[in-house]
A and B are shown apart, each in its own frame.
Chain A
Amino acid sequence: MNIGTLLTEWSLPTQKTENVIKKYSVTADILSFKRCRRQYGFFGVRKFRSATATQRYFGTLVHDVLEQINRNYQMKKSLPIEEALPNEEEIKILVEKAHERLILSGIRPYNTEDQKIRAAKLISRFVELIGPVFFLHVDKTEYHLEHSINPGENDEFILHGIVDVLSGAVAHDLGMPYSTEPDDIEVWDYKSGKCPPKDSTELQDYQYQMRVYAHLYRQQTGNYPARCVLVFLGELDDDDIWKRCSRDHRQFPSLFYTIDPQPRHIVKAINDFEKVVKEIEIEKSKPYSEQWLAPINAPDAATCDSCELRYNCERYERGHKQRKEAL
């Protein structure tokens, strides 16, 4: 049998390289990779599944209840404000319902009773403090932003993010201490914790996220939003300030963190985004055995403490000892 004699007029096939444009999420990819490439590689790319009780419970609970309040408000907004927005008791019921849903969805929190009480408290205070202005201006929630970026030939990727709230001029109506207009468009993002220190990585990450959203918003609509506002509900936990605040949000100086969409910062964020995408692509192109090694610099303690890969991770010193503990 000689195949060569049969295939006399055979033409040599060309080798094609298919270039599929990949999608990258601001939070699930870029920030995760920046936090820890090993964790990202195993859980984000290879899709190993995490076994620890979730850290997401509180944030998701707060987010879901605020979202529900908004939906209810949108249906009842022609009614007087006290009927359109829930009171503390009603908020407790909403928290309970959202909690039940989260538990059924497989989220496993610790100290749920304490967390529910705290969530209801923060949300009630938020609603009381700025609810009438805030919900009046909510335009869209869970707003998808997506755009392709093309830093060079065959380098395209799609950048993706979901904005909590796209709103009208909340800052203007709240009388925020900077220049605002009544027709401003704003991006709002709920954070359930306290505002992190100014120079912290966490706050830098949030700023970065908002700048990318501002960029995407501009790609999608032609204009930047007037501003992005992070609202740190955890700030409302302080009972002393609450007692004496006379329902004036200015008594909580760190409740809002505003990010102006300054082009130079945004360009920097997008450049950084491109750089991280490239790093991820390089990582993916390495042989399997060399991919997703521990990062050179140790991530923050919270990231490592909840990571299943910590027992033999070079960046987590206590891991080796923990590994030897039974069970």
Chain B
Amino acid sequence: MSVLEVFMSISLHKFYDAMTRANKGTLPLDDDQRKALEHNFHTPLWIIAGPGTGKTHTLSWLVLKRILVDGIEPSKIVLTTFTNKAANELRTRLIQNQQKLVGLGALNEAKQIDVSQILLGTLHSLCSRILQDQRYEPTLRINVLEDELTQQFFVRRQGNLLLNCDDITFWQRFGFLKDSDRFSPNKAKKTEFACKLFNRITEFGANSEMMKASGDTHMDLLAKAYEEYLDKLKEKHRTDQAILQKHFLEFLQTSQGQSFIGSGFTVFVDEYQDTNPIQEEIYFTLVGTRGDFTVVGDDDQSLYRFRGATVESLIDFDERCKVYLKKDPTPVYLKENRRSHHAIVSWINGFIKNHPDMTDPLYRVRAPKKPDLIPKSSITGAYPAILSIVETSNPRAAIKMVEVIRQLIDGKFIHDYSQIAILTFSTKESTWGISAYTDALTAAGIPYYNPRNKKTQKQEHFQAMIGALSIILDPVFDDTNLPASLPRSVVEYIGNARSKYKELVPTNSELHEYVINSQQAIKSAKVDPTKKTNFLVRQGGRRVTLSGLWYKILSYEPFSTVLTQANIGEKLKALNMVLTDYESMYDYGELKIETDKSGFTIIDRWTLYNFYAVFVEGIHQDLNEPEDDEIVLEEHSINIMTIHQAKGLEFEVVFVVRPDNHPYESDTHIIEDELDPYITRPTKPASRRSRSKRAAEDVVRLFYVAYSRAKRLLCITAGTGPKDWNIVLPKPVDGTSVISKKHLKSLGVHVL
């Protein structure tokens, strides 16, 4: 019997008393937050929480109230958030609030509750954990393809109908090729596109039988390719992230799953605006008929359509509740913004409310009856909080931005560089991206941290490591000797990598000696002609693996030293992670050998080809450091991040750089439409806005997130005039377009 079963729940009055004592005599809830806590839960609760309105704060008190006042057992609570980092923060807040209730609040009952029993985490982590705990047969010890690249390695290894599809019209149809393109994508690109299509089919719940029966040859091919992919996953006992959720949903529908659900969980979902249809179905299934369901989110901050999220989950939550629960939810709007200067609040209000792309007479683009945010921050000074740098080129704008940063630091307006963030659509350090800005920071000696700079694969030690592996396995690199051709860019990358290694040789003789010895060992390795396959073995008979070689190389200078430097160590780790993912698909990294024409032993040509064409191809253009979603903020540096990564964060000063750079209508929107006829879920919208309008909505929401991260100062920094980026500006009340600095000033922006 759990502790909870032996104590009676307390009154809301007593709970509020304790909260008040815990908070130095004031109840730490505004009127809207109180409404959320006082909801009777006979109907679902629909919390629409604008930026800076205390979402996590409300959620953590609400959960404690449900346990202590409503008597919900912690183990019957499901609480999900979008990232592991957010889950840790929520867990921390729950524990701290519980301790406050026990300590200052003198609420003894709070001592007895065990918040660790709450099923708290991202939905992925909970699916995984519950399926494991329940020992659900189809997923027992299942191997999860953790990220997109690993999924692509899998598809590449296992093969798929789509990898042989050279029908250009197929790829054009889904927006992967332009109408003017004349060649079908290469294998790596086909794999990437195929994975994207498969993920959307799973997340949207598109019916492959209907696709096959449609008489549409493209859909028939896609459905067959998807089914082939599913078969291969099953055969290899693997799953991708989306299909793991499908397994979970199937589990919930079994008798074992039904008994797990019992009379239903009390479900809280944070960041509900980025829920996809399969997740929505999971939540409504977990809730059961009791309908004890609370969603929290902000449709204006929905950013993940490109990963299958449908903002309608939140906007049309009332409709969804009617379908699943036959109940109307109660909306509560959290509107008191405690984060930002009032001018910033006013700016974001004006931006979203008056934006022509955010209103539509036929469709809900925003949650119904959404009120303006009310500024309640303690930051109140009468200064211009919205600045703009508008120059004729990015290098000029960058110089000005650096000057502003200098003055902020020198004038002691802020303590540390980490109080500044540079947010942008793409953090790639190229001319198209933000190289002008990072170059200017570097020139000025201002430290910055840009983990998603897309430059990891160009780091010299990273490349030299690949070069060393290549030189051991393939002393004379000649791509024409491989069984199939390599893309030119991969050949170039390998050449560069080998050169980077060779540059290390004069000063690292031990390493080179090891490389030469290893080449010799391969050359003289024994091949047993009676065996179909021979593997390279080490002394003692153990098979040599790529990772094994990698760790040995790592133990030599200069790698062993640079491993201890954060900027390089983390890049080498990224390489290690991708390499082991690759190995898990390709013979565990073991190396097949064969005899060449002169009788020497060499690495089997296909083994080598795969190493180049799959592994090197997978990383040579674009490899992020790990912690993709879980952005780590670097102390004493300006943090440069994509707007997506900045979700949930706040900074004293925010530079929104290159507003001319934003997403456009793309395959994301096309796939939504193309798969739509094959989706049968009951909550599918009857129709939706055009692609171009949905794409425009996405841009507005993206910049709404960017602007609302700023606490004290927001500076929009551009190397072109506002006519190139007026989609990310509020529409003036007179309906004109913003095309000049003068117009910007009329919007209340102080142009520097």
Instruction: Please provide the chain B residues from 46 to 68 with a CB less than 8 Å away from any CB of chain A in the complex.
Output: none
- Asked whether A8 lies within 8 Å of B383 as measured between CB atoms, the reply is yes
- Asked whether A4 lies within 8 Å of B411 as measured between CB atoms, the reply is yes
Bound state CA distance, A312 and B621, in angstroms?
Answer: 32
Residues of A within 8 A of B116 (CB): 146-148, 158, 160, 220
- Asked whether A101 lies within 8 Å of B141 as measured between CB atoms, the reply is yes
Q: By CB atoms of chain B within 10 A, which of A220, A221, A222, A312 has the most?
A: A312
- Asked whether A7 lies within 8 Å of B381 as measured between CB atoms, the reply is yes
Residue in B117, B236, B378, B408 whose CB lies within 8 Å of A3? B408
- Asked whether A51 lies within 8 Å of B547 as measured between CB atoms, the reply is yes
Residues of A within 8 A of B412 (CB): 12
A319 smallest CB distance to B (angstroms): 8
Closest to B142 in A: A105
Bound state CA distance, A161 and B390, in angstroms?
Answer: 56
B489 at interface by CB-CB < 8 Å? no
B83 at interface by CB-CB < 8 Å? no
Residue-by-residue, is B542-580 near A (CB-CB < 8 Å gives 1, otherwise 0)?
101111111110011000100011100100010011001
Contact A288 B565, CB 8 Å, known A49-B580, A67-B135: yes
Bound state CA distance, A108 and B584, in angstroms?
Answer: 10
Bound state CA distance, A104 and B141, in angstroms?
Answer: 8
A102 at interface by CB-CB < 8 Å? yes
Residue-by-residue, is A135-171 near B (CB-CB < 8 Å gives 1, otherwise 0)?
0000001101011101000001010100000000000
A15 smallest CB distance to B (angstroms): 6
- Asked whether B143 lies within 8 Å of A104 as measured between CB atoms, the reply is yes
B600 smallest CB distance to A (angstroms): 15
B686 at interface by CB-CB < 8 Å? no
B168 at interface by CB-CB < 8 Å? no
Closest to B143 in A: A105
- Asked whether A323 lies within 8 Å of B552 as measured between CB atoms, the reply is yes
- Asked whether A148 lies within 8 Å of B95 as measured between CB atoms, the reply is yes
Contact A323 B555, CB 8 Å, known A106-B584, A142-B132, A221-B3: yes
B379 smallest CB distance to A (angstroms): 6
How many A residues, CB 8 Å from partner?
62
A269 at interface by CB-CB < 8 Å? no
Residues of B within 8 A of A13 (CB): 414-415, 419, 652, 711-712
B89 at interface by CB-CB < 8 Å? yes
Closest to A141 in B: B135
B459 at interface by CB-CB < 8 Å? no
Residues of A within 8 A of B214 (CB): none
- Asked whether A325 lies within 8 Å of B140 as measured between CB atoms, the reply is no
Instruction: Please provide the chain A residues from 42 to 58 with a CB less than 8 Å away from any CB of chain B in the complex.
Output: 46-49, 51-53
Bound state CA distance, A309 and B581, in angstroms?
Answer: 19
Bound state CA distance, A93 and B712, in angstroms?
Answer: 67
B292 smallest CB distance to A (angstroms): 23
B413 at interface by CB-CB < 8 Å? yes
B92 at interface by CB-CB < 8 Å? yes
Residues of B within 8 A of A141 (CB): 135
- Asked whether A101 lies within 8 Å of B114 as measured between CB atoms, the reply is no
B508 at interface by CB-CB < 8 Å? no
A34 at interface by CB-CB < 8 Å? no
Bound state CA distance, A99 and B609, in angstroms?
Answer: 31
Residue-by-residue, is A1-27 near B (CB-CB < 8 Å gives 1, otherwise 0)?
111101111111101001111110000
Residue in A52, A158, A312, A327 whose CB lies within 8 Å of B549? A327
Residues of A within 8 A of B549 (CB): 327
B538 at interface by CB-CB < 8 Å? yes
Instruction: Please provide the chain B residues from 513 to 563 with a CB less than 8 Å away from any CB of chain A in the complex.
Output: 513-514, 517-518, 520-522, 536, 538-539, 542, 544-552, 555-556, 560
B99 at interface by CB-CB < 8 Å? yes
Closest to A8 in B: B383
Contact A51 B652, CB 8 Å, known A327-B538, A327-B544: no
- Asked whether A105 lies within 8 Å of B237 as measured between CB atoms, the reply is yes
- Asked whether A288 lies within 8 Å of B569 as measured between CB atoms, the reply is yes
Contact A20 B89, CB 8 Å, known A101-B141, A288-B564, A323-B555: yes
- Asked whether A51 lies within 8 Å of B589 as measured between CB atoms, the reply is yes
A289 at interface by CB-CB < 8 Å? yes
Contact A221 B566, CB 8 Å, known A20-B89, A51-B550: no
B27 smallest CB distance to A (angstroms): 23
Contact A21 B92, CB 8 Å, known A15-B415, A327-B518: yes
Closest to A293 in B: B564
A311 at interface by CB-CB < 8 Å? yes
A198 at interface by CB-CB < 8 Å? no
Bound state CA distance, A2 and B330, in angstroms?
Answer: 50
A303 smallest CB distance to B (angstroms): 16
Contact A12 B573, CB 8 Å, known A3-B407, A51-B547, A219-B114: no
A32 smallest CB distance to B (angstroms): 18
Closest to A19 in B: B92
Closest to B539 in A: A325
A64 at interface by CB-CB < 8 Å? yes
Bound state CA distance, A289 and B721, in angstroms?
Answer: 45
B752 at interface by CB-CB < 8 Å? yes
- Asked whether A51 lies within 8 Å of B545 as measured between CB atoms, the reply is yes
B88 at interface by CB-CB < 8 Å? yes
A244 at interface by CB-CB < 8 Å? no
A326 at interface by CB-CB < 8 Å? yes
Bound state CA distance, A288 and B545, in angstroms?
Answer: 28
- Asked whether A326 lies within 8 Å of B514 as measured between CB atoms, the reply is yes
B40 smallest CB distance to A (angstroms): 30
Residue-by-residue, is B122-143 near A (CB-CB < 8 Å gives 1, otherwise 0)?
0000000000110100001111
B403 at interface by CB-CB < 8 Å? yes
- Asked whether A11 lies within 8 Å of B416 as measured between CB atoms, the reply is no
B395 at interface by CB-CB < 8 Å? no
Residues of A within 8 A of B544 (CB): 327
- Asked whether B712 lies within 8 Å of A144 as measured between CB atoms, the reply is no
Instruction: Please provide the chain A residues from 82 to 116 with a CB less than 8 Å away from any CB of chain B in the complex.
Output: 101-102, 104-106, 108
- Asked whether B2 lies within 8 Å of A10 as measured between CB atoms, the reply is no
- Asked whether A326 lies within 8 Å of B520 as measured between CB atoms, the reply is yes
B691 at interface by CB-CB < 8 Å? no
A260 at interface by CB-CB < 8 Å? no
Bound state CA distance, A319 and B560, in angstroms?
Answer: 14
Residue in B384, B400, B564 whose CB lies within 8 Å of A1? B400
Contact A6 B142, CB 8 Å, known A51-B545, A108-B588, A148-B116: no
Residues of A within 8 A of B513 (CB): 324
Contact A324 B411, CB 8 Å, known A19-B92, A147-B114, A158-B116: no
B327 at interface by CB-CB < 8 Å? no
B91 at interface by CB-CB < 8 Å? yes
Bound state CA distance, A312 and B542, in angstroms?
Answer: 20
A71 at interface by CB-CB < 8 Å? yes
Bound state CA distance, A309 and B572, in angstroms?
Answer: 14
- Asked whether B752 lies within 8 Å of A102 as measured between CB atoms, the reply is no
Residue in A67, A147, A288, A327 whose CB lies within 8 Å of B521? A327
Can you name 27 A-B residue pairings with CB atoms under 8 Å? A1-B404, A6-B384, A7-B383, A7-B411, A8-B382, A9-B381, A9-B382, A11-B378, A11-B380, A22-B88, A23-B91, A51-B548, A51-B583, A53-B542, A104-B141, A106-B588, A148-B95, A156-B96, A158-B91, A158-B95, A220-B2, A289-B566, A311-B552, A323-B514, A326-B521, A327-B538, A327-B549
- Chain B positions within 8 Å of A, measured between CB atoms, are 1-3, 88-89, 91-92, 95-96, 99, 114-117, 132-133, 135, 140-143, 236-238, 378-384, 387, 400, 403-404, 407-408, 411-416, 419, 513-514, 517-518, 520-522, 536, 538-539, 542, 544-552, 555-556, 560, 564-566, 569, 573, 576-577, 580, 583-584, 588-589, 626, 652, 711-713, 750, 752
Knowing that A142-B132, A148-B95 are A-B contacts, what are 8 other residue pairs whose CB atoms are under 8 Å apart, sorted by A's residue number? A1-B404, A3-B404, A3-B407, A13-B712, A47-B626, A105-B141, A148-B116, A327-B538
